[in-house]
Amino acid sequence: MENLALIDSFSEFKDDKLIDRVTLMAILEDVFRNALNRKYGSDENFDIIINPDKGDLEIWRNRIVVADGEVEDDNSEISLSDAQKIEPDFEVGEDVSEEVKLIQLGRRSILALRQNLISKIHEHDNTNIYKQFKDLEGEIYTAEVHHIRHRAIILLDDEGNEIILPKEKQIPSDFFRKGDNVRGIIESVELKGNKPSIVMSRAHPMFLEKLFEQEIPEVFDGLITVKKVVRIPGEKAKVAVDSYDDRIDPVGACVGMKGSRIHGIVRELGNENIDVINYTNNLPLYITRSLSPAKVTSIKIDEVNKRAEVILKPEEVSKAIGRGGHNIRLAGYLTGYEIDVLREGAEEDVELSEFSDEIEAWVITEFKKVGLDTAKSILDYDLKDLVKRIDLEEETILEVINILKEEFEE
């Protein structure tokens, strides 16, 4: 038959893509019905018989015999004289089934058939890939670096599926070479046209949560629950954990002896500093723990405006703020409260913002970045220490100190 080459090509796809028999037959029938529609204007009176295992395909056209000269629809009716060319004993009113050879569709239609088939097979394949990875959203996945671009890394898994790791989804310290294995979570899967777009992330908080599941047996078994994860990728993270079994210390179990359990996670995340804290429904205690390693002296909470005012000893303030303000920012993300830090004895102090007439706003901002937001908090340090801590010229810092000293001398 003329269709053997076409069926052979279908069989190749069947073997390569592991398409099940029912799906293959449905795709074949759909492709041929599209071709019949283009050729005859309708496929309603055609039977398509497919045996993909043997490479057999038959198309039968069904029409009713009408008297000569009374054919109104060539597609559903056949004249008596034409019917009798097929079989001499046909009579008016009988049904005629006539086999349609592929060659009758025309060479161009046969070529279009193959293209349509390839397209349908790929579409089916892409739909399966989409469904497969859609089910993996939020799960850890490993793939190999195939190509490195300026804004993204293109990964391939063992099945040859393409996964994108955009620059903004990477940890800032990430550095990969072609052939490296990369772990991350499948963050999103979308169909763009007919092609699935699979995006991996290593910066998402869920990646850290899933690493806890992989590396800490008690989390995997459900004995310890990860309540919330917040991150500044590559810099710092806070993980709130809880256990319904009072015999289990969730923080101790997650960290391990001398940090043995969490060390592998820290290394995977480019030495990201991870604070593991005990979750509690006691809000003041939860906020206090979230500011670890700083020790809070007292706390006042405004639940209506979601604000917390914490008072600390002067030497604890920089710990609460953290390098670049990371610690206090993450504590806010973790608890859902905006946290204001005050020093003990701050009532005798003056907020740095009160000096905005004499000190430029951008200079005040630089001091606040390192937790120095009052006059006394700055005057407690000598000039050399301030120069080391703040990204300002020594001359500018000295000018600020002199302005503040004048205030208290008055």
Q: Going residue by residue through the chain (410 aa), what tens digit of pLDDT does each one get?
A: 344 455 555 555 544 455 566 666 777 777 788 877 777 778 888 887 777 666 567 788 888 888 888 888 777 788 888 888 888 888 888 888 878 777 666 666 666 666 666 676 667 677 778 888 999 999 999 999 999 998 999 999 988 889 999 999 999 999 999 999 999 999 999 988 778 899 999 999 999 999 999 999 999 999 999 999 999 999 999 999 999 888 899 999 999 888 888 999 999 999 999 999 999 999 999 999 999 999 999 999 999 999 998 988 888 888 898 888 899 999 999 999 999 888 776 556 778 888 888 888 898 888 888 778 888 788 877 788 788 878 888 899 899 888 888 876 65
Quick one: 357 exposed, middle or buried, by C-beta within 10 A (0-12, 13-18, 19+)?
exposed
Alpha-carbon distance 57 to 48, whole Å?
7
- The domain tally of the chain equals 5
pTM of the model: 0.63
Among candidate residues 317, 344, 371, the one where a domain is terminated: 344
Helix-, strand-, coil-residue percentages of the chain, each rounded to 5: 45, 25, 30
Among candidate residues 237, 272, 307, the one where a domain is terminated: 272
12 and 50 in a single domain? The answer is yes
Alpha-carbon distance 24 to 18, whole Å?
10
150 and 66 in a single domain? The answer is no
369 and 301 in a single domain? The answer is no
Quick one: 325 exposed, middle or buried, by C-beta within 10 A (0-12, 13-18, 19+)?
middle
57 and 74 in a single domain? The answer is yes
Domain that holds residue 329: 280-344
125 and 171 in a single domain? The answer is no
Among candidate residues 188, 203, 218, the one where a domain is terminated: 203
The DSSP bridge partners found for residue 238 are: 230, 275
233 and 263 in a single domain? The answer is yes
322 and 400 in a single domain? The answer is no
55 and 114 in a single domain? The answer is yes
DSSP classification of residue 369 = H
CATH number, domain of 184, equals 2.40.50.140
258 and 302 in a single domain? The answer is no
15 and 117 in a single domain? The answer is yes
State the pLDDT at residue 299: 92
147 and 224 in a single domain? The answer is no
CATH number, domain of 239, equals 3.30.300.20
13 and 85 in a single domain? The answer is yes
